[in-house]
Amino acid sequence: MPMTGFAIEIENLTKEYPFGFLHLQKKTSLEGLNMQVETGEVFGFIGPNGAGKSTTIKLLLGLIFPTAGTARILGKPISDVEMHKDIGYLPEQPYFYDYLTAAEVLDYFARFHDLTAADRKERVERMLKKVGLETARKIQLRKYSKGMLQRVGLAQAILHDPKLVILDEPMSGLDPVGRREVRDIILELKREGKTVMFSTHILSDAEMLCDRVGVIVGGKLRGVGTPGQLVDLKTQGMEILFALTAASNAPLLAKATKTGECYRLQVAEGELYAAIEQLRGAEARILSVTQVKATLEEFFMNLVEADRAQASAVEVSGK
Amino acid sequence: MKRVGIVALNTFREAVRDRVLYNLVFFALLMMLAAVVVGQISIGIEESVIVSLGLSAISVIGLLISVFIGVALVSKEMEKRTLYALLAKPVRRWEFLLGKFGGLLLTLAVNTAAMAAGLFLVMLYVKHSLQPSDAVVLVAVYFIWLKLALIVALALLFSCYTTPLLALLFTSGLYIVGLYVQELRDLPAQVMSPAMVAFTKWLSYLLPNFENFNVMAMAAHGRAVPGTLILQNTLYAVIYCAIVLTCAAAVFSRKSLK
């Protein structure tokens, strides 16, 4: 992975929204965010709804303005619109001009990137094929499903061969096939040396795709690092998956969970071989033995629960 | 300016696909009906009635389009969030704004030109021939288009910092007030305090003067419009639009999207 500096540098980025009568009260949506995304990496930005993920992305793209702090993208300040030539962006729940067809909307966006007519045509065709919309290319977007719009959004984000791709909830609204395709596109972008930053709720996607992740909860960054750095990688136990070939009364079976025709049994690492011996004695067929580790999901859930507990405590003390 | 052009052409395409130009059918029907009826009831003044009616229809239809579509130009893009993907491209906010303005102006130009062509056809039907003096009708149509440009600019400005409904009210209100700017200037100074005189004078120059663009009576009676008035109105519209659009761009450049 080519590591040549930072694609995104965020310093003390803060966003407050005024509300209430005369806008005198303020709600902090993002609080002093400091974060970097390295060039060439796939960076996952994870957090629950309202955590500040989309706010951060909108601030980076100049769609909203920070209350405090600064950020640089590809070495340039975020106020520099020309820098957008090298950025691809997929908004959350994207919506495009519904009177245009997919080919027209892609051609429209391509026009802002100083491409020749022939180049635009070739890229539009290639992108439509890449996101699986070539057969729907002449249908107006008002007849598109949510998943199809998401594909158009992805196509317009990568159409101009950007150095940095920022995707806000790219898997949202997609069926399993679509999600798989998006994952493949992200991995392809990584192979091409692009930097990808994407926000997601789906932690398995982040674990699968990301070099590093940033976890944001309640507008504050709670952790940045590789998924392995964030969660405790020490083995918490061993899981044995087995099937019974004959009826058995082995005591271990009482601790196992039955799923369909299979049983799952979790034991301590030191008890693994004894457990296997017992199961063999009960004529069980061992299907697999896997290590049980803490997941990103557990790390994430712990943070969210701690944040909720803190919020409740503040509310109670406030009363 | 290339980016402004791209946004403008797309705005024009939107108007066409959203069937904005269908109003031309209504205009055509109105003029056909007028041509038949006028011939029956207004002996000797058919031409002036047709011209007055035609120009009024061009003005009203243009007003409806410029106010209703004008206030939605930016707000619709923010509401539907189509602006998100666009502003993430190398497009400055003022380029987007100017493009939207240009696109609606182009739509109004096509619409107004088509209606003017229809009006000339009806004039030809009623009079059986056209004279060089009929060119004044073209000047009147041009002035209507200038007036509409001013209204679109105002609608854009209001829609940049308030809701579409309020923008609609402000734009319509300012248009009505703008029809009486001359009356404001002619208020009797004797019955007002010097401060009030200064204020009304200052206000009358600040408000858009739409009365300047009304040469309907001259067109209806075939009287030529002085060249200085054409130049003066053109400059006035260009400068006023430039000031209003600069204000709109200043407001919009700091506007946070939802």
pLDDT tens, position by position, B214-257: 888 888 888 888 999 999 999 999 999 999 999 999 999 988 88
**ipTM (interface pTM):** 0.84
Residue A174 is which amino acid?
Answer: L
Q: How far apart are CA B176 and CA B167, in angstroms?
A: 14
Percent of chain B's residues with pLDDT above 90: 52
Residue A304 in any domain: the answer is no
Looking at CA atoms only, how far is residue A228 from chain B in angstroms?
A: 33
Residue A232 in any domain: the answer is no
Q: How far apart are CA A217 and CA A224, in angstroms?
A: 12
Do the Cβ atoms of A52 and A10 come closer than 8 Å?
no
Looking at CA atoms only, how far is residue A139 from chain B in angstroms?
A: 14
Is the model's pLDDT at B197 over the cut of 50? yes
Residue A302 in any domain: the answer is no
Q: How far is CA A255 from CA A259, A266, A281, B250, in A?
A: 13, 8, 16, 69
Q: How far apart are CA B159 and CA B148, in angstroms?
A: 16
Higher per-residue pLDDT: A98 or B258: A98
Query: Are the beta carbons of B6 and A89 separated by less than 8 Å?
Result: no
Digit-by-digit pLDDT tens for chain A (319 residues) are 444 589 999 999 999 988 877 777 888 889 999 999 999 999 999 888 888 999 999 999 999 999 999 999 999 999 999 999 999 999 988 889 989 999 999 999 999 998 899 999 999 999 999 888 888 888 999 998 888 888 999 999 999 999 999 999 998 878 888 888 889 999 999 999 999 999 987 777 888 889 999 988 888 888 888 877 776 555 678 889 998 877 777 777 788 888 888 889 888 888 899 999 888 888 888 999 987 766 667 777 777 777 777 766 665 555 5
Q: Where is the domain boundary, A204, A226, A248?
A: A226
Query: Are the beta carbons of B89 and A109 separated by less than 8 Å?
Result: yes
CATH number at residue A123: 3.40.50.300
Say if residue A24 is in the same domain as residue A83. Answer: yes
Say if residue A178 is in the same domain as residue A279. Answer: no
Say if residue A147 is in the same domain as residue A253. Answer: no
Residue A300 in any domain: the answer is no
Structure tokens of B229? 């008035």
Say if residue A198 is in the same domain as residue A254. Answer: no
Query: Mean pLDDT across the stretch B153-171?
Result: 93
Q: Report the DSSP pairing between strands A42-46 and A212-217.
A: parallel
Nearest chain B Cα to A165, which residue? B88
Say if residue A50 is in the same domain as residue A108. Answer: yes
Q: Residue A252's domain spans which residues?
A: 237-292
Give every CB contact of residue A287 below 8 A, 6+ residues apart in sequence.
Answer: A241, A242, A243, A262
Give every CB contact of residue A311 below 8 A, 6+ residues apart in sequence.
Answer: A218
Q: Report the DSSP pairing between strands A262-267 and A76-77.
A: unpaired
Query: Mean pLDDT across the stretch B173-190?
Result: 85
pTM listed for this prediction: 0.83
pLDDT of A3 = 46
pLDDT tens, position by position, B28-46: 778 778 777 776 776 667 7
Say if residue A206 is in the same domain as residue A287. Answer: no
Residue A216 in any domain: the answer is yes
Say if residue A205 is in the same domain as residue A260. Answer: no
Q: How far is CA A317 from CA A75, A308, A312, in A?
A: 44, 14, 9
Is the model's pLDDT at B84 over the cut of 90? yes
Say if residue A26 is in the same domain as residue A149. Answer: yes
Number of domains present in the structure of chain A: 2
Say if residue A124 is in the same domain as residue A202. Answer: yes
Looking at CA atoms only, how far is residue B63 from chain A in angstroms?
A: 24
Helices first, then strands: H and E counts in chain A: 9, 14
pLDDT band with cut points at 50, 70 and 90 for residue B153: very high
Query: Are the beta carbons of A91 and B92 separated by less than 8 Å?
Result: no
Q: Where is the domain boundary, A184, A203, A226?
A: A226
Say if residue A206 is in the same domain as residue A253. Answer: no
Residue A161 is which amino acid?
Answer: D
Residue A313 in any domain: the answer is no
Structure tokens of A290? 């896997």
Looking up tokens 């795709």 gives A209
Residue A163 in any domain: the answer is yes
Say if residue A140 is in the same domain as residue A194. Answer: yes
Say if residue A196 is in the same domain as residue A279. Answer: no
Give me the residues of B, 49-88, that contact A with CB < 8 A.
80-82, 84-88
